[in-house]
């Protein structure tokens, strides 16, 4: 019996399936195995992949339904949509004035401590209406989609009040219903200390633990709980209290770790059993070892190191230490105002010395693992969502090579052409 299909993408110069490794992220040299099929095809029915392989094999085992769409991808790369596992796309205002200050020598931390940085986005976000927040975030999601991203994690964290954080997550919920992208909500009430809690930080931690987390969890508004654990923000002890409280309420722990200073935040990520730890520019050797041991995924954000003019995360050392690495845009108004996952991949290659294959695997299947979505997205395998990218590239290495432009020719989201 031939399988009926309503989408067939065939003759791909290179089809990258990213398949492999039974339910766990790619580690070490596995990252260089993209499951590449030359002359490959992928077929889908009602948004689910039913067959992947050589074009001849796929064509002979499927039957095109009368309304089926057939796409010839000759000379192109066909691959799974990117997964972006770390963004802050809901916010108001912008911070180009701080960009200029930083160019004149001010540091991100100095601006933050003077009440700018995250707190200036907080003020703008608290002033904005629900509609304004939803509309500006929608435009950012549109750009992510046009850049080939199919699944996006979104954090709260620009309100820092109980009602304001809930409102941000309600914006995410509203967008999830009204946008083709799949969205994954994360509670980040501990993104900074509000000005009025500057001198009584533990009281804010209490507010996060006693009011925000229970309310967010009860309303089902988030899957993950995050904390900015770094110099000048939340201490390891405070972060631990917040992540443990999140766990008690069913929120999976993730963490902004060791971005500005080596805090022992990667070690904390391992201790609390975090799904992922992000940034890691200043991660210690022990932190890396502990992350590898506990299977904490490193979400690397080279756009942020680039934009803050900081040394990049030691990706090679992490890969060699057996840490699973993923990549993300970190789209936010201060440290990484970009929606270009393709630029992130180029930076990963040039500045963190990842191979093009490693970077592509990190931005797809490993990023899907970082969101606990690898059973649905991140690779082209039978039964998964037909989230498929057709790239104007003759070879996968061309993707980081032809940099700074959008090479996406088309995007299929659950089998439907959306770009």
Contact positions with ligand NIG (CB under 6 A) in 121-140: 121
CA gyration radius for the chain? Answer: 21
Closest chain position to ligand NIG (CB): 334
Binding of residue 339 to ligand NIG (CB under 6 A)? no
Instruction: Give the footprint of Fe ion on residues 127-166 (CB under 5 A).
Output: none
CB nearer to ligand NIG: pick between 259 and 387: 259
Shortest CB 346 distance to ligand NIG, Å:
19
Nearest to ligand NIG of 7, 297 (CB atom):
297
- Residues 331 and 303: their CA atoms lie apart, in Å, by 9
Residue 238's binding partner among ligand NIG, Fe ion, none (Cβ under 5 to 8 angstroms by kind) is none
Helices 265-272 and 285-294, axial angle in degrees (round to 10) = 20
CA-to-CA separations, 24 to 106, 150, 251, 256, in angstroms, rounded = 42, 20, 21, 22
Number of other CB atoms surrounding residue 22 within 10 Å: 5
Answer for the pair 65, 5: CB distance below 8 angstroms, yes or no.
yes
Closest CB to Fe ion among 192 and 235? 192
Asked whether position 256 contacts ligand NIG by CB under 6 A, the answer is yes
Q: Measured between alpha carbons, how far is 65 from 283 in angstroms, rounded to an integer?
A: 53
Strands 182-190 and 297-300: unpaired
Looking at residues 276 to 335 of the shown chain, list those that interact with ligand NIG (rule: CB under 6 A): 304, 330, 332-335
Residue in this structure with the two tokens 């969502």, named with its chain if needed? 385
State the minimum distance, in angstroms, from the CB of residue 86 to Fe ion: 6
Give the residue ranges of DSSP H helices in 152-297: 162-178, 201-207, 213-218, 236-248, 265-272, 285-294
C-beta closer to ligand NIG: residue 334 or 378: 334
228 binds, among ligand NIG, Fe ion, none (CB under 5 to 8 A by kind): ligand NIG
| Closer of 235 and 304 to Fe ion (Cβ) | 304
Q: How many CB atoms are located within 10 Å of the residue 316 CB?
A: 13
Q: Single out the residue of 71, 118, 168, 349 in contact with ligand NIG (rule: CB under 6 A).
A: 118
Query: Do the Cβ atoms of 224 and 102 come closer than 8 Å?
Result: no
Residue 334 binds which entry of ligand NIG, Fe ion, none, with Cβ cut-offs from 5 to 8 Å by kind? Answer: ligand NIG
Q: How many residues bind ligand NIG (CB under 6 A)?
A: 14
Site string for Fe ion, 322-361 (x = CB under 5 A): --------x-------------------------------
Q: What residues numbered 69-98 form the site for ligand NIG, per CB under 6 A?
A: 88
The rounded Cα 164 to chain-centroid distance in angstroms is: 23
| CA distance linking residue 18 with residue 79, whole number of Å | 8
Among 228, 234, 306, 396, binds ligand NIG (CB under 6 A): 228
Longest CA–CA span in the chain (Å) reads 71
Q: In 3D, which of 307, 362, 406, 319 has the Cα closest to residue 80?
A: 362
List contacts with Fe ion (CB under 5 A): 330
Tell me which residues touch ligand NIG (CB under 6 A).
Answer: 88, 117-118, 121, 228, 256, 259, 304, 330, 332-336
């Amino acid at each position: 019996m031939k399988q009926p299909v309503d989408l067939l993408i065939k003759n791909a110069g290179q089809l990258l399936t990213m398949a492999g490794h039974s339910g766990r992220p790619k580690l070490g040299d596995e990252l260089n195995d993209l499951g590449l099929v030359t002359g490959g095809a992928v077929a889908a029915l009602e948004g689910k992949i039913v067959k992947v392989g050589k074009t001849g094999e796929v064509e002979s085992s499927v039957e095109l339904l009368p309304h089926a769409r057939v796409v010839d991808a000759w000379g192109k790369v066909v691959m799974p949509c990117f997964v972006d596992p770390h963004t802050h796309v809901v916010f108001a205002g912008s911070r180009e004035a701080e960009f200029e200050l930083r160019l004149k020598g001010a540091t991100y931390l100095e601006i933050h401590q003077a009440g700018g940085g995250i707190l200036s986005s907080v003020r703008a976000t608290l002033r904005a209406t629900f509609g304004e927040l939803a509309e500006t975030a929608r435009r950012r999601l549109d750009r992510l989609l046009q850049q080939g991203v199919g699944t996006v994690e979104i954090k709260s964290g620009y309100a820092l009040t109980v009602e304001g954080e809930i409102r941000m997550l309600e914006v995410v919920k509203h967008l999830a219903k009204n946008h083709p992208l799949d969205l994954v909500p994360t509670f980040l009430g501990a993104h900074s200390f509000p000005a009025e809690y500057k001198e009584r930080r533990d009281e804010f931690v209490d507010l996060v633990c006693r009011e925000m987390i229970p309310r967010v969890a009860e309303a089902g508004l988030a899957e993950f709980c995050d904390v900015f654990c770094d110099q000048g923000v939340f201490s390891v002890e405070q972060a631990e209290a917040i992540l443990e409280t999140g766990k008690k309420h069913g929120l999976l722990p993730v963490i902004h770790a060791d971005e500005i200073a080596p805090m022992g935040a990667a070690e904390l990520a391992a201790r609390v059993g975090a799904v992922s730890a992000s940034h890691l520019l200043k991660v210690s050797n022990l932190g890396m070892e502990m992350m590898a041991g506990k299977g904490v995924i490193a979400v690397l954000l080279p756009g942020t190191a680039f934009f803050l003019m900081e040394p990049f995360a030691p990706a090679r050392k992490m890969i060699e230490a057996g840490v699973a690495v993923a990549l993300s845009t970190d789209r936010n108004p201060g440290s990484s105002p970009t929606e270009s996952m393709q630029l992130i991949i180029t930076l990963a290659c040039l500045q963190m010395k990842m191979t093009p294959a490693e970077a592509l695997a990190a931005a797809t299947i490993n990023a899907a693992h970082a969101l606990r979505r690898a059973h649905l997205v991140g690779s082209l395998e039978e039964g998964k969502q037909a989230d498929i990218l057709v790239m104007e590239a003759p070879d996968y290495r061309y993707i980081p090579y032809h940099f700074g432009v959008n090479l996406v020719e088309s995007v299929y989201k659950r089998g439907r052409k959306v770009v």
